[in-house]
Amino acid sequence: MTGTGFSFRDLRRRRYKGQHFLTDDSVLKREVEYARVSKKDIVLEIGAGPGNLTEHLSRAAGKVIAVESDDYYVSLLRSKELKNVEIIHGDVMKVELPEFNKVVSNIPYYLSSPITFLLFRKKWDVAVLCYQKEFGERLVAKPGDKNYSRISVAASYYVRAEIMEVVPREKFFPKPKVDSVIVRMYPDRKNIEIDWDIVRKIFSHRKKTVKNALRSSGLKFSGIPENILKKRVFQCSLEEISMISGCAK
């Protein structure tokens, strides 16, 4: 049992559905600090689970919106009787979310991509999220990096992201096979046009040249400078990807 009321004995009875719960109080506290949570804030927590992070957020925030889909964890959260916590029982991809200005969450690894894209399209001031290490590294990757991918492009378009710390796998229960990272993001939407369907298509051939990736995707194109056509897809900057997506169909 940790200071947050987390019970290993109770949790061992559960089937985890790919979830790994952060149990280290010092890391949980730092997540709240990274977001600079105060009593003025309404904080969204996605995948609240047994409420380890929820309790820390409740002490710091004016209000917490805790979204959880699992019946067992919803009951556990309600039993804590945290007065400033609104519990939403449902799938975050399907429920209607109230207004919030900050996000602090340890999200299920298997939902990292859809939840991240969902948040990119919401309005908030700062988000602090715990991801599987590889996914977090993809979020902050720059053109030419080995991890530069479609999610890297989307992140660079919508936000300014940075890795705050690496969280060893031993800090979770059950222990995952890999380490995690805490990523902090601030909104920073760029004033350029991007066709995300074209981005998805060409990044399925990310190591090919732009010309070959476009052809392999069955796309027609014109007006793209030869020096860009010769680049590998994963080497292209956000501005170059914008140009490519505007010249292809």
**Number of Cα atoms under 13 Å in the Cβ half of residue 223:** 9
CATH topology of domain 8-187: Rossmann fold (3.40.50)
Give percent of the chain with pLDDT exceeding 90.
Answer: 91
Per-residue pLDDT reduced to its tens digit, 195-240: 999 999 999 999 999 999 999 999 999 999 999 999 999 999 999 9
Q: Look at residue 173 and tell me whether its pLDDT is greater than 70.
A: yes
Helix (H) or strand (E) holding 201: helix 196-202
Token pair for residue 222?
């014109």
Residue ranges matching CATH 3.40.50.150 in the chain: 8-187
Q: What is the pLDDT of residue 20?
A: 87
pLDDT at 4: 44
Q: What percent of the chain has pLDDT over 70?
A: 93
34-92 confidence digits (pLDDT tens):
999 999 999 999 999 999 999 999 999 999 999 999 999 999 999 999 999 999 999 99
The mean-pLDDT minimum among 170-174, 182-186, 240-244 falls in 170-174
Torsion of Cα atoms, 98 then 103 then 104 then 108, to 10°:
80
| 7 has pLDDT over 80 | no
Is this structure's pTM higher than 0.85?
yes
CB of 196 closer than 8 Å to CB of 182:
no
Band (pLDDT 50/70/90 cuts) for residue 10 is low
